[in-house]
């Protein structure tokens, strides 16, 4: 749109264009057309010439900076903006652009002051730019697993967003709160606690709250520390300082403040919640870690190496995930290196029979670091120490074609793991042919062993170096021990294992969190996840139950979900207001993960009954039948499996002929004979060729499931 003479001047002076930068309007409009036509180099050339003729003009300099930022020329953008800010320190667009350029090039820590200056001065005038900055910061914090900071900046972006972007930010918040790989106490809302104290301090606390609202966290923390100097025994102030530090990405400082709050707080429930957050933040900020390392190997022939490893019983080939296989330089092969030979054709009956994984071995046709060279390379990745050393020896003895790389980056640290979390990073190898019901039984037993034999006897940093069993005898660690059970619970939920908290509590003799007292007027909107999980669902009104269910479905904490579902299904008015299809699907998933096949089939039957009451959608009923098939395939001796397969043959395959090939591959993968002829459809020996979808298809390993790749 052409600029009018009486429009505000784009330079930011506040004057009308006619009385300000009218001389450069034709050239600036030409520059804008270059940008519209995707010719940034022409736009830059024009701006450079204008800058020589009209030095330090704000319109020219901010335009130069914006193009440089779009072209990743952050140093040049900052140089132009510094020139402008030296003369016009209050120029809002320059402040905002400088914060963006600084954050993108130098990171959050180095640009904290510039960022908070942009939040303080620019949020009302140019909210779109500040919102984009907040979203970018949130993304970086998520990648660094500083989750409370990530969520804070998402909510900050939400406050700044306009209607056209608000929905996108809201969806990202929902995705965050429902992400089961983030410990559940960290998800959802965390609000500053109300302050009771002197009038002078109350005024300061209100200022601190406003600073937090606009994103000036450094200034807020600085002010709060001064308040704490005059009220150092106030547990609420320490808790709030911990929250502010966590939102600012300073997790180590946050953990210290939250530990202090828990120590001072006489309110048991509030103290435990502070301590839970502190323990979880400690995981990501401690220096007491174990490294996951990647050792690079050079090789001559990928095909020869793959052949040799396939013959070696200590190397188990893994299926390459679909998203990995689609990448340009996807792995040629991924193997788990086992601590013992796997007995072919024999299913393990107890956890001691299952081979453990020492490390992962990934082979590339092109070197990960130098893909343009066409030189193959391989990487062994695992926890630093004896197991990784043993894995390297096995690799070197398995093939004479391999030799350790002499590159400076041959031994790399992929990531680090807090020593307190090491018991939960167990990895083992169970073949896909092992019946699902047996595999899940072994996994449940393994988790029980990890918790009731390993974890309870493991020295933990947040228990002052004592094990939970030792801490149970120390009254001074009462709060820390109770919190550690909920910290453990969050780690179990992240690994899809439902901890029997009562059993563990009986073992250690803790005082668990009490149920929260509620009445008809109780407002749950500000409740944290920990508080929501302590609700007495049996005593809630129907309206409150529906709200609790929405939160429960979002957070997906298995025990609380089951308690809430039981209430919903026993209350006719509640059942009318919920999506029963989703309720039964979720109940089926929980039952399957807990290896309760009868319960899973019961909920599937309920889902089918509900579907038949409604529109009898063929597609929805088929989905339920596929889910039933997934449950029954877990147990090859299931008496109802053949009846279900015959039902597919008679009722569903005639309408969906592709199902026959799917069933053929499923049965082949599970090693189950079909009651009818599927031989024409077995065109490959691959367990899942072409990435065909199967309901709830299981990975063949458990524990920490992700693939390790070199960095």
Per-residue pLDDT, 673 = 82
Neighbour tally for 358: CB within 10 Å: 25
Q: Report the alpha-carbon distance of residue 604 to residue 622 in Å, rounded.
A: 12
- pLDDT-flagged residues of the chain (< 50): 1, 325, 681-705, 707-711
Domain boundaries, the chain: 24-122, 129-177, 199-285, 289-429, 436-508, 529-703
Per-residue pLDDT, 697 = 41
User: Both tokens of residue 489?
Assistant: 């619970």
Per-residue pLDDT, 235 = 95
Per-residue pLDDT, 705 = 47
**Can you name the residues that pair with 292 across neighbouring β-strands?**
383, 415
Task: Confirm if 657 and 591 have CB atoms less than 8 A apart.
Answer: no
Tell me whether residue 131 is exposed, middle or buried, using C-beta atoms within 10 angstroms of its C-beta: 0 to 12, 13 to 18, 19 or more.
buried
- 557: phi > 0 → left, psi -120 to 50 → alpha, else beta; which? beta
Q: Tokens 């989750």 appear where?
A: 147
pLDDT tens for 411-450 read 889 899 999 999 999 999 988 778 889 999 999 999 999 9
Query: What percent of the chain shows pLDDT beyond 70?
Result: 93
3 state DSSP class of 413: strand
What is the sign of the dihedral through the CA atoms of 513, 283, 470 and 456?
Answer: positive
User: Both tokens of residue 124?
Assistant: 């009302």
User: 194: which DSSP letter?
Assistant: P
Across the chain, which distance is largest between two alpha carbons, in Å? 88
Per-residue pLDDT, 616 = 65
The length of the chain in residues reads 711
Per-residue pLDDT, 691 = 34
CA distances from 51 to 2, 9, 65, 233, 256 (A): 22, 17, 12, 58, 51
Per-residue pLDDT, 432 = 76
Per-residue pLDDT, 351 = 93
Per-residue pLDDT, 689 = 34
Are domains 24-122 and 199-285 of this chain identical in fold?
Answer: yes
CA distances from 591 to 38, 434, 439, 603 (A): 55, 19, 15, 9
199-285: CATH number: 1.25.40.10
Per-residue pLDDT, 405 = 86
CA distances from 85 to 57, 132, 456, 706 (A): 11, 21, 58, 47
**Can you name the residues that pair with 418 across neighbouring β-strands?**
289
Determine if the pTM surpasses 0.85. Answer: yes
**Can you name the residues that pair with 317 across neighbouring β-strands?**
335
Per-residue pLDDT, 368 = 60
User: Both tokens of residue 173?
Assistant: 């918040």
Q: Where are the beta strands (DSSP E) in 189-308?
A: 289-298
CATH topology (fold) of 24-122: 1.25.40
Per-residue pLDDT, 667 = 86
Per-residue pLDDT, 702 = 42
- In 3D, which of 710, 706, 711 has the Cα closest to residue 336? 706
pLDDT tens for 574-613 read 888 888 888 999 999 999 989 999 999 999 999 999 888 8
Per-residue pLDDT, 258 = 98
Task: Confirm if 222 and 213 have CB atoms less than 8 A apart.
Answer: no
Per-residue pLDDT, 700 = 40
Per-residue pLDDT, 676 = 81
Burial 68-82 (b: 16+ CB within 10 A, else e): bbeeebbebbbebbe
């Amino acid at each position: 749109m052409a600029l009018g003479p009486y429009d505000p001047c784009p330079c930011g002076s506040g004057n009308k264009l006619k009385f300000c930068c009218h001389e450069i309007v034709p050239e600036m409009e030409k520059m804008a057309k270059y940008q519209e036509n995707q010719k940034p180099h022409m736009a830059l050339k024009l701006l450079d010439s204008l800058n020589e003729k009209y030095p330090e003009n704000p319109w020219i300099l901010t335009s130069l900076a914006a193009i440089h930022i779009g072209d990743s020329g952050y140093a040049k953008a900052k140089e132009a903006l510094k020139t402008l800010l030296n003369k016009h320190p209050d120029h809002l667009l320059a402040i905002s652009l400088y914060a963006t350029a600084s954050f993108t090039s130098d990171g959050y820590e180095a640009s904290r002051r510039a960022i908070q200056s942009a939040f303080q001065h620019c949020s009302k005038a140019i909210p779109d730019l500040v919102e984009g900055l907040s979203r970018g910061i949130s993304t970086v914090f998520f990648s660094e697993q500083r989750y409370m900071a990530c969520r804070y900046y998402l909510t900050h972006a939400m406050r700044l967003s306009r209607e056209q972007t608000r929905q996108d930010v809201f969806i990202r918040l929902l995705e965050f709160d429902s992400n089961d790989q983030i410990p559940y106490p960290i998800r959802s809302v965390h609000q500053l606690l109300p302050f009771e104290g002197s009038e002078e301090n109350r005024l300061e606390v209100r200022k601190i709250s406003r600073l937090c609202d606009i994103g000036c966290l450094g200034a807020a923390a600085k002010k709060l520390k001064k308040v704490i100097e005059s009220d150092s025994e106030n547990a609420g102030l320490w808790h709030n300082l911990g929250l502010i530090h966590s939102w600012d990405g300073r997790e180590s400082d946050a953990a210290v403040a939250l530990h202090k709050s828990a120590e001072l707080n006489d309110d048991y429930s509030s103290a435990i919640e502070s301590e839970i957050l502190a323990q979880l933040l400690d995981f990501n900020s401690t220096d007491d870690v174990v490294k996951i390392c990647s050792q690079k190997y050079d090789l001559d022939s990928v095909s020869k190496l793959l052949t040799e490893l396939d013959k070696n019983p200590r190397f188990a080939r893994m299926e390459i995930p679909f998203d990995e296989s689609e990448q340009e330089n996807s792995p040629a092969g991924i193997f788990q290196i086992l601590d013992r030979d796997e007995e072919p054709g024999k299913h393990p009956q107890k956890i001691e029979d299952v081979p453990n994984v020492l490390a992962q071995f990934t082979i590339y046709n092109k070197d990960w670091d130098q893909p343009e060279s066409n030189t193959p390379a391989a990487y062994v990745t695992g926890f630093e120490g004896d197991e990784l050393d043993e894995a390297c020896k096995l690799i070197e003895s398995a093939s004479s074609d391999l030799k350790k790389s002499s590159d400076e980056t041959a031994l790399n640290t992929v990531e680090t793991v807090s020593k307190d979390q090491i018991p939960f990073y167990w990895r083992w190898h169970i073949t896909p042919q092992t019946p699902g019901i047996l595999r899940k039984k072994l996994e449940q037993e393994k988790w029980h062993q990890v918790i009731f034999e390993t974890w309870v006897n493991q020295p933990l940093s947040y228990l002052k170096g004592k094990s939970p069993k030792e801490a149970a005898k120390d009254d001074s660690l009462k709060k820390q021990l109770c919190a550690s059970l909920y910290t453990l619970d969050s780690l179990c939920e992240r690994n899809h294992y439902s901890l029997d908290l009562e059993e563990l509590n009986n073992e250690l003799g803790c005082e668990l969190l009490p149920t929260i007292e509620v009445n008809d007027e109780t407002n749950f909107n500000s409740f944290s996840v920990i508080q929501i999980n302590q609700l007495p669902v049996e005593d809630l009104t129907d309206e409150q139950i529906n709200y609790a269910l929405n939160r429960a479905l979002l957070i997906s904490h298995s025990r609380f979900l089951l308690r809430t579902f039981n209430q919903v299904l026993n209350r006719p008015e509640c059942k009318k207001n919920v999506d029963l299809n989703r309720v039964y699907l979720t109940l089926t998933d929980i039952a399957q993960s807990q290896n309760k096949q009868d319960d899973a089939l019961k909920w599937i039957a309920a889902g089918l009954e509900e579907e038949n009451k409604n529109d009898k959608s063929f597609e929805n009923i088929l989905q339920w039948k596929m889910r039933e098939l997934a449950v029954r395939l877990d147990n090859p001796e299931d008496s109802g499996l053949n009846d279900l397969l015959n039902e597919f043959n008679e009722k569903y395959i005639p309408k969906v002929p592709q199902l026959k090939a799917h069933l053929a591959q499923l049965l082949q993968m599970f090693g189950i004979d079909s009651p009818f002829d599927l031989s024409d459809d077995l065109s490959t020996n691959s367990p899942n060729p072409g990435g065909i979808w199967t309901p709830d298809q299981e990975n063949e390993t458990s524990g920490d499931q992700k693939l390790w790749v070199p960095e």
